A and B are shown apart, each in its own frame.
Chain A
Amino acid sequence: MKILLVDDALDMRLVMKRTLTLMDHQVTVAEDGAEAWEYLRNEVFQAVITDWDMPNMNGVELCRHIRSATFPNYVYIILLTGRSGKHNLIAGMDAGADDFATKPMERDEMEVLLRAAERVISLERRLEQQNHDLAKVNESLEKARDETMRDLHHAATLQMGILPAQKQIGRLDFAWFFRPAQMIGGDTFNYFPMNERLQLFYTVDVSGHGISAALLSMYLSNLLTSTADQTCSQWCGGNEASIKQNLAKMLRFFNEHLLDLTDHYFTMILGVIDTSEHRLHFIQAGHPMPFLVDKASGCVEELDCTGFPVGLVPDVDYEVMSYPFPPESRLVLFSDGLFEMLDNKGQPLLNSDLDAVLKTSVDADATETVRSIRNHFLVDGYEKNQPDDLSVMVIDFKA
């Protein structure tokens, strides 16, 4: 070991240095605490054997200096006392001494003390190595986490990017709001014209949330668009019966397809607004019941309808609901995450809350109405506590 020996008595220094050297240790000597501290600042020592009473800096002060400094290794300290025994050993320990010995020391005694020191130093060294390894693992974990977060940010941007940008198609006004519970979510929605007369729309909520739900919602969005594209010719000039048939056929196809594909399922509303006949046709597949607002009379109605979710049970039929949808009508679609939100008293928000917001928003446009719903359901201070994905879509048929 590399040992720093500190004593103001020359004879003690000489005797102990000789003994320690004979024991194969590398010994540096200092006359007092101040000189020892100078050595310690410039060289690495495994152990310090220091006298208690010395001029300039005594042994206890030296202990404190060593313990308050940052050394690359643990420095083991043996504090030496005279025969008088008047020293306070507890104070010495508090200052950072590891062991004590009475001067003069026999060689055997020195050997025992230094072997104990070696044991502690090697344990300390192992601990340091483990800490170092742990720090490295932590660093790589943090790196992996940062990469995942960056990926999720990109995925979230992408997911927002596929949501419809156009706010007006013919006489129909659209507005929506989407906020996933995590960075990406299992809700999605879209709307596009099938022809000059028929406007298709859908809103989807994949069971669960997070990455797999988000991937499935992206896949569904793609599948719905391409299915609608492929069947476009069947819709053109179709009467009400064929529109309903097409909708039910799409849902049956999705249901069987999903059952084969994944354990996830989804709820949805898939519908068509017939802007010539002023009719609304839709399938409710386990999604929350939509609201229909007559802006002319101010009447707000929750459309009482039920239906099987998609991809949950095989061989089910989907029922198409039809309602008059004259100009001045408003359709409000949303996911069930809305009713997992809390108000400013911590109470769950209900259907009646949405009903009330819609009643006060009768004269507002679609964008303003979505903003009101958002403000009501994302209460300051509670908005972070969002257990499920949230999506709201409002469709207005202008006069």
Chain B
Amino acid sequence: MKLQTIEKDEFTIIKVEEKRIDAVNAPELRQKINELSGTGQTRVILDISNVTFMDSSGLGVLVSILKMLGGSGELIIAGANGIVSDLFKLTRMDRIFRMCDDPESAEQIMTVA
């Protein structure tokens, strides 16, 4: 899975450079965030504005990432759009995840907090 990582002082932005998050590539995403949290970075913005499709396994992995970062961490999903955004709404995961329309507003929240 192609991921672009931008390290900031207080948080890390991970941009998914793929069209799909699915059963095949989602485990790599979890592995990457697992490595990050191992280095103490548990505040993450996950930018999925390029993603046009996510299947049930992809959603399952995002929830496991949220659980992994746990109480000590913070995760913001940014840029969900189209049928990916519909999936968050259909499954009410938009109420479980902290979501932002775009990465810029996610950065503002992370900076203020």
Contact = CB atoms under 8 A, between A and B. Distances in A.
B90 A207 contact: no
B91 to A, nearest CB: 4
Nearest to B58: A207
Given A208-B23, A388-B55, A308 B60 contact: no
Interface string A266-296: 0100000000000000000010110000000
A288 B63 contact: no
B92 interface: yes
B64 interface: yes
B85 to A, nearest CB: 12
Nearest to B88: A306
Interface in B62-112: 63-64, 89-93, 96
Contacts of B56: 205, 207-208, 265, 267, 309, 336
Contacts of B63: 312-313
Contacts of A267: 56, 91
B25 interface: no
B57 interface: yes
A346 to B, nearest CB: 15
Contacts of B89: 306
A306 B60 contact: no
B59 interface: yes
Say what secondary structure dominates the interface of chain B.
helix
A286 B89 CA distance: 9
Contact of B96 (A205, A313, A388): A313
Contacts of B90: 286, 288-289, 306
Contact of B92 (A205, A207, A289, A306): A306
A306 B57 CA distance: 19
A207 B96 contact: no
Contacts of A43: none
8 contacts: A207-B57, A263-B60, A264-B60, A265-B60, A306-B90, A307-B91, A307-B92, A309-B59
B45 to A, nearest CB: 21
Nearest to A288: B90
A361 B92 CA distance: 32
Nearest to B95: A308
A288 B56 CA distance: 12
A308 B89 CA distance: 9
Contacts of A265: 56, 60
Contacts of B57: 207-208
A308 B92 contact: yes
Given A208-B23, A313-B63, A308 B55 contact: no
B37 to A, nearest CB: 19
Contacts of A288: 90
The 10 closest A-B CB pairs, nearest first, are A207-B56, A286-B91, A208-B57, A308-B92, A207-B60, A309-B91, A306-B90, A306-B92, A312-B63, A313-B96
Given A286-B92, A312-B93, 19 more contacts: A208-B23, A208-B57, A208-B60, A265-B56, A267-B56, A286-B90, A286-B91, A288-B90, A306-B89, A306-B91, A307-B92, A308-B91, A308-B92, A309-B59, A312-B63, A313-B63, A313-B96, A316-B92, A336-B56
A340 B59 CA distance: 16
Contacts of B59: 207, 309, 312
Nearest to B63: A312
Interface string B46-60: 000000000111011
Contacts of A340: 55
A308 B92 CA distance: 5
Contacts of A208: 23, 56-57, 60
A91 to B, nearest CB: 54
A181 B90 CA distance: 23
A288 B90 CA distance: 7
Contacts of A313: 63, 96
Interface in A308-350: 308-309, 312-313, 316, 336, 340
A263 B64 contact: yes
A264 B23 CA distance: 12
A306 B91 CA distance: 6
A96 to B, nearest CB: 49
Contacts of B92: 286, 306-308, 316
Nearest to B90: A306
Contacts of A308: 91-93
